[in-house]
Amino acid sequence: MSEPPEEDRPAARHSPRTTSDPAALKALAHPLRLKILRRLTAAGAATATALAAELGENTGTLSYHLRQLERAGFIEDDPEHSASGRERWWRGVRGLDVRRPAPAGLSPAERAVVGELDRLRMEEDIELAYSYTLPRPEEAEWVYGSRGTLHLTREEFQEFHDAYLELLRRFQRRTEAEPGTRPVAVRWFGVPLDGPGPQDSGPGTS
């Protein structure tokens, strides 16, 4: 679950917590819950009423899915807002690093959960890819990307991945929108070019 600099800025830092529990990931394998989490990550804390209006759902439905996300550890109460009114405010859990579990040891049901979550995330990523290839003229300065091919050992590939995660953590000090910032979706993946196609490979860690 959910961006940019200045080392001495007193932005809130939170110790990263990693989760790859299939039972927790099951809560994410739902399109509306992914939309809720994306909205809280991008725009900050909100109430069930506000989320329902933005996402075109009724408040009862939103409240149910919010409770499922809370139970799985992806969202939490926002005391800064909730203390000032009767309605509960929600925010994404800060410093949470969500990983796909390694396939070894997963039951068929757990594999199905991971597969469904991958499918839903891929749908979102395809939408983002279209946004990247067709940016509005006024957005051009906010769109960056890179493609390349590396020859790596397995250990170097892992080192590259870990360095990428460390770079993300370096720029994830901000947990709420600040003047001059925008929520930016960042994606990275790597696959061998000389191996079996995607249809032959199972889920891996990310």
- For residue 38, pLDDT over 70 is answered with yes
Instruction: Print burial letters for 111-124: b (CB count within 10 Å at least 16), e (below 16).
Output: eebbebbeebbeee
Q: Please give the model's pTM, rounded to 2 decimal places.
A: 0.70
pLDDT on residue 10: 32
Residue with the larger pLDDT of the pair 3 and 17: 17
DSSP code at position 105: T
CA quadruple 5, 7, 9, 11: dihedral sign = positive
Q: How confident is the model at residue 172 (pLDDT cuts 50, 70, 90)?
A: confident
**Which two structure tokens, joined as six digits, stand for 145?**
């990307």
Residue with the larger pLDDT of the pair 175 and 51: 51
What is the mean pLDDT of the segment spanning 57-72?
95
pLDDT on residue 82: 62
- For residue 51, pLDDT over 50 is answered with yes
pLDDT on residue 31: 94
